[in-house]
Structure 1
Amino acid sequence: HNPYENGLLVEAQKKYGKKVQMGNQQRSAKTSIMAVQDIRNGIIGEVYKGEAYYSNNRGSIGEGKIIDVPSSLDWELWQGPAPREAYKDNVHPYNWHWFRNWGTGEIHNNGTHEIDICRWALGVDLPETVTSFGGKYTFQDDWEFVDNQQVTYSFSGNKFITWTGHSRGLMKPERPGRGATIYGSKGTIELSRESYQLYGLDGEVIKTELEGGTSATIDTMGAGDLDGMHIANFFNAIRIDEPQNSPIADASVTTMLCHLGNMAQDAGETIQIDTTTGKVLNNEKAMASWKREYEAGWEPKL
């Protein structure tokens, strides 16, 4: 997935008129829906900052060795539009996230979810600038992205979102494995897949709302109650035209932010964004990542 395909997917939805929903299941969490409504009603005043974070302690993926493709895997179909590579023993089923030929790193693996919640809560779309700092610090292995990263997105209206991704090495002081914190002039809200907590400016808890069901947060599947609720919303959108919690036209803005975080990291400098198209202004190096190299015959076209 890349910015070019991001726009293509939105245009395809418009052309064919189908319901398309992204799997950012926290958009269907009752506590998150409640919190965003409270924010719209001014419960924490003027919101100005969203802090998205993910913390894990992923091990080394080693240096892959070329082996025979497992009989259970259609390697040709699995690679899809990516230029073909020999099958290695450290790619499938999960570590493909850390290879540039197939993956997009942690920011577009788990950051997608937390950045999305911040964007939703702040009521913002595409940023004006993006800055990224980070690197690969922990193991010498085949991992091709940064393993620790800090990205800052600035938006009109003097609002900003930060993404802190700790793939290897848990964040300290102790924090939940993932989440989003929304800051306002009158208080703060912490959101996770499990709960909504409201704090005053003094840091004291004002109220806590629990989701009622559990969801995995930092394993390699992330399954839980929210998946069923999100899928139910999608089915109801098809069956009875219920409003979608994450239609692709809106969800694609969040995925674009993740791409821009990687592009800013690769550019090594703050990038300026066209807030209408999402394209990087006056920076050929960053825009080199706008569209990927495709295997012959696999480039998607509308």
Structure 2
Amino acid sequence: MKNIQRRKFIRDVSLVSTGALVGIHHMGRAMGNSPNDSVNIAIIGIRNRGKDHYRALSKIPNVNIAAICDIDQRLLPEAAAEVEKLTGRKPLIETEIRKILENKSIDAVSLATPNHWHALQTIWACQAGKDVYVEKPVSHTVKEGRLMVAAARKYNRIVQTGTQARSQVATMDAIRFLKRGDLGKIYMCRGLCLKPRASIGHVKDSPIPVGVDWNTFLGPAPYRPFNENRFHYKWHWFWDTGCGDLGNQGIHQADVARWALGKQTHPVRIQGFGKYVVYDSDQETPNIQHIEYEYDDGSVIQFEVRGLPTNSEAGVKIGNLFYGSKGWMSMTSEDEGVCKAYYTDINLEASGFSSYKEKEGPVFNNDDPETSDAVVNHFTNFINCIKSREWKNLHADILEGHLSSTLCHLGNIATRLNRVLYFNPEDETIEGDEEANAYLTKVYRPPFLLPDIV
């Protein structure tokens, strides 16, 4: 792909940002009232996050959960029954996404699949004329994210990233507050993923369970014998399929940090340290990480993953801290979204010492029950944009997802190599480091190949 195309991706973010703060309170009004305006959507992956998808979509008018799809047939009867109970309609059941994409009656797909599948499924869906809601991180590598943006634009598709903090009312209000300059210049944001996780232990390989399509689950990843530790949810902790907690939970907080800083490009310097400590298990990804991202103007994002017993910071375990020239603010998780601002007055004394006073500022809460569910809000925004065909009004367009997912990928690369990376935002390469650049893509197992051109 030519560099000029990559530069265009970054310029396009400025267009996305014009629609990033569309008011939640009036989202429902954009929906049509006629049954003919219904959007037929299929849920791909229905064990954990997929349930949240169809439960949220069932609350939105004129949305038909037309189909559900999973490679684990054991999960489908219960999910189908729940969808029917929620909507009064029995969904089509499939085990192969290709059949969903070939179905002309389906308008959109909602992807709640493992990270290593997001890019291929999104690209295929765009090529099939489907709109896409894709869970975070949108990609498994930097190259994948770039191609996903290209596919969305080429096929004129609506592609929403599943970073629902972008549709959380209190978070949106707090970001407006920061962007107005009420806390002065924001010079640093801190993302926190202080989320204790239990050891997954050691598990031996075992026969593939009846009803599980293990080959398709692995997809583009290297083939290996079935192992429960590498299957449902625990795939997050292995590099072939996941991105660790930085890309699992942390992507939400990385995205909010970049949003608050107003960064519509990549950082230029990344350093990271991380290890898997305390436990003895099969897990490959670190359970502690310290990462710092520096942008070309000197502003900084710090990120910490702490997957063991831990304290909170300013009352926050999952969330963000924002630091400005006139004060600071705390923010809880993407689903809670409670934000507390504090003003700081610093004075230089005659003695040469400095004194400061701190006072409480505004608190941003989600106190309206009609708009308190960020996931429902986010899906509503997605459905509205499907109807309007205005991707610029998405709260988390795929390009936003690519920029934030790249933060996670670069943080993991810096951690794995334990050295500073110098990143070129224009051509999305790591300068002077062939070994690090190899991590920007990966080897794909045939026939699950990533195209060079979408």
Q: 1:165-196, CA deviations, whole angstroms, 9 ceiling, x for partnerless residues?
A: 01223245674330011111011122223212
> Rg larger in 1 or in 2?
2
Aligned match of 1:144: 284
Distance between the aligned counterparts of 1:169 and 1:279, measured in 2?
Answer: 36
Distance between the aligned counterparts of 1:198 and 1:251, measured in 2?
Answer: 27
Letter in 1 for 2:340: Q
For 2:249, which of 101, 110, 113 is the aligned residue? 110
Q: 1:68-91, CA deviations, whole angstroms, 9 ceiling, x for partnerless residues?
A: 223343212211211111111222
The alignment partner of 1:134 has SS state of: strand
For 2:217, which of 78, 83, 98 is the aligned residue? 78
Q: CA deviation at 1:158?
A: 1.8
Is 2:158 the counterpart of 1:44?
Answer: no
Distance between the aligned counterparts of 2:315 and 2:284, measured in 1?
Answer: 27
Contact persistence 2:189–2:302 (CA under 8 A): yes
| Matched residues, number | 293
Aligned match of 1:234: 382
Aligned match of 1:265: 415
Q: CA deviation at 1:300?
A: 1.8
Contact persistence 1:266–1:286 (CA under 8 A): no
Distance between the aligned counterparts of 2:386 and 2:313, measured in 1?
Answer: 44
Distance 1:72 1:178, change over 3 A: farther
Q: 1:32-66, CA deviations, whole angstroms, 9 ceiling, x for partnerless residues?
A: 11111111211101111000001122111111211
Distance 1:174 1:60, change over 3 A: farther
Distance between the aligned counterparts of 2:431 and 2:304, measured in 1?
Answer: 25
Letter in 2 for 1:71: V
Distance between the aligned counterparts of 1:174 and 1:209, measured in 2?
Answer: 16
The alignment partner of 1:250 has SS state of: helix
Letter in 1 for 2:166: R
TM-score by length of 2: 0.62
Q: CA deviation at 1:121?
A: 0.3
Aligned match of 2:340: 197
Contact persistence 2:204–2:227 (CA under 8 A): yes
Q: CA deviation at 1:136?
A: 1.2
Aligned match of 2:266: 126
For 2:200, which of 49, 61, 64 is the aligned residue? 61
- Cα RMSD over matched residues? 1.7
Aligned match of 1:255: 405
TM-score by length of 1: 0.92
Distance between the aligned counterparts of 2:358 and 2:387, measured in 1?
Answer: 44
Distance between the aligned counterparts of 1:298 and 1:181, measured in 2?
Answer: 40
Q: Aligned runs of 1:82-93 on 2, under 5 Å?
A: 82-93=221-232
Is 2:450 the counterpart of 1:297?
Answer: no
For 2:365, which of 182, 187, 210 is the aligned residue? 210
Is 2:321 the counterpart of 1:181?
Answer: yes
Distance between the aligned counterparts of 2:164 and 2:313, measured in 1?
Answer: 27
Q: Which moved more, 1:43-52 or 1:292-301?
A: 292-301
Distance between the aligned counterparts of 1:173 and 1:228, measured in 2?
Answer: 29
Contact persistence 1:256–1:278 (CA under 8 A): no
- Identical aligned residues as a percent: 28
Structure with the bigger percentage of helix: 2
Q: CA deviation at 1:267?
A: 2.0
Q: CA deviation at 1:149?
A: 0.3
Aligned match of 1:217: none
Letter in 1 for 2:385: A
Letter in 2 for 1:133: F
Letter in 2 for 1:98: W
Distance between the aligned counterparts of 1:65 and 1:150, measured in 2?
Answer: 31
Structure 1: gaps of 5 or more residues: 215-223
Contact persistence 1:50–1:180 (CA under 8 A): yes
